[in-house]
Amino acid sequence: MNFAALDEARSFLAANPDIDMIELFILDANGVPRGKLLHREELLAVYESGRPLPSTILGLTLNGDDVENSGLVWDVGDIDCRAYPLAGSLVRLPWRQIPTAAVQVSMHPQEGLPASIADPRHLLIKVIDGLKAEGYHPVMACELEFYLLDAKRDGNGRPQPALDADGGRPRSPQVYGLRELEQIEPFLADLYAACKLQGIPARTAISEYAPGQVEITLEHGDALEAMDQAVRYKRLVKAVAHKHGMQATFMAKPFDHLAGTGMHMHVSIADAAGRNLFASQDPAGTPLLRQAVGGMLASLLESLLLFCPNANSYRRFQSNSYAPLAPTWGVDNRTVSLRVPGGPANSRHIEHRICGADANPYLAAAAILAGIHRGLRENLDPGEPVQGNGYAQATELLPTDWLTSLVALEQSAWARDALGSEFLGVYLAVKRAEYRQFMAEVGEQDWRWYLTQA
């Protein structure tokens, strides 16, 4: 575990004498940052001996409710578990009125028990270490889509795209539109500046396939570091949008008639010297790449809850929507779930297109890499790549409901072996509790469908 040295905090405080507050956060299984706001003089103690956090902090539902059968509540008396800062995570938050910095923490493997078994970052480290033990070094990058919404709802109380800089409301998709990016230039300028300040390699921005929808790519690198950056980037996007009077959402499907938001994960495998083991003049890559694809396809159903963790996630799966519908792969084909992009031989990699933007990057990456490891170990053949319209050729479809994915993960012997029964015990308890809460809630759709017809 790459915890930070005390000198890192001392150097930061010396270089930032105006900082008054420190936001300490840990990411839970739902991708929600939770933690505490500390005073400046409390920071060094966190680096010296960690910070106690309640065991329940990593066993909460999306809405912050305790899950009693997670094993992290009454069974252990909501015991304090010690978390320590991650190296390189102490950064300024330039949008805050009070001079504030943030530091990301993770549970100590021993001092953080029992909560450490539910720490999603630990799971990713475990999977990466398993690959590295066999000479495989995963390289990853994230493409995250999001919507910029107006802070105010429309006349019906529903979310709506944020106003352009000229005061108009974007109405049409205008995918790849440059004017649409110009209209949000003040937001983009602050976002890129904040990313630079925090060492997050934000690159290409595009106007996506819906009004107010944006995608910004992050640079590829070491898999764990890339997911750390994705986690912090999502926080930046939301905070900078709030500063500009907008709301940024990574909800998978905020509008029924508009495009969903995805998190495309790019992955390759390198050797210890950093050489890409997928590199090939063949557009379909090396035999190793095909095995990786085979493993991801073989474990796709059992992993789906980690890629699509919420009820809303499954509304994104619609035909001809650029969201995948089937366990398929192809070369430079955006109608499949696993795409091998074109480009120079040394850039050959796999684009995993299944995740919603609402997925926890650590857990999604862990499931992707565990699937790849399965393919490499078992020498799995993915079959021939799809050519042409993958939607029309699909013979087997992904589930479009939350419960089916939950049960598939719950019953998976492969997942228990690859991800660990202790982690899955907590995660599935949380997801079961959320499912029950969601299904028990009566709302507008129920009234519209059943109030007068039943």
pLDDT (0 to 100) of residue 168:
83
Residues 276 and 257 in one domain: yes
CATH number, domain with residue 253: 3.30.590.10
259-315, pLDDT tens digit by residue?
999 999 999 999 999 999 999 999 989 999 999 999 999 999 999 999 999 999 999
CATH number, domain with residue 76: 3.10.20.70
Domain contains 203: yes
Q: In 3-state terms, what secondary structure has residue 290?
A: helix
Nearest 5°: CA angle at 248, between 54 and 437?
50
Residues 107 and 19 in one domain: yes
Q: What is the CA radius of gyration of the chain?
A: 22
Give me the mean pLDDT over the 117-130 stretch.
Answer: 98
Domain contains 132: yes
In 10 A of CB 12, how many CB atoms?
A: 19
Residues 65 and 195 in one domain: no
Residues 98 and 164 in one domain: no
Judge whether residue 172 has pLDDT over 80: no
The band of 1, judged by pLDDT with boundaries at 50, 70 and 90, is confident
pLDDT (0 to 100) of residue 321:
67
pLDDT (0 to 100) of residue 326:
87
Residues 274 and 162 in one domain: yes
Residues 154 and 105 in one domain: no
230 closest CA partner among 274, 263, 270, 186 = 263
Q: What's the structural domain count of the chain?
A: 2
Domain contains 426: no
Residues 175 and 77 in one domain: no
- 82, 117, 152: which is the final residue of a domain? 117
Tokens of 421: 């029964």
Residues 274 and 322 in one domain: yes
Judge whether residue 23 has pLDDT over 90: yes
Strand pairing class (51-54; 91-92): unpaired
Answer whether 107's CB lies under 8 Å from 83's CB. yes
Residues 242 and 170 in one domain: yes
Residues 94 and 136 in one domain: no
Give me the mean pLDDT over the 167-193 stretch.
Answer: 88
- 57, 91, 117: which is the final residue of a domain? 117
pLDDT (0 to 100) of residue 228:
97
The domain of 415 spans 128-419
Answer whether 180's CB lies under 8 Å from 207's CB. yes
- Gap between the Cα atoms of 23 and 113, Å rounded: 23
Domain contains 93: yes
Judge whether residue 396 has pLDDT over 70: yes
Domain contains 336: yes
pLDDT (0 to 100) of residue 263:
96
Tokens of 316: 């994104």
Residues 168 and 233 in one domain: yes
Answer whether 161's CB lies under 8 Å from 173's CB. no
Strand partners, 104: 25
Mean pLDDT over each residue of the chain, to the nearest integer: 94
Residues 58 and 142 in one domain: no
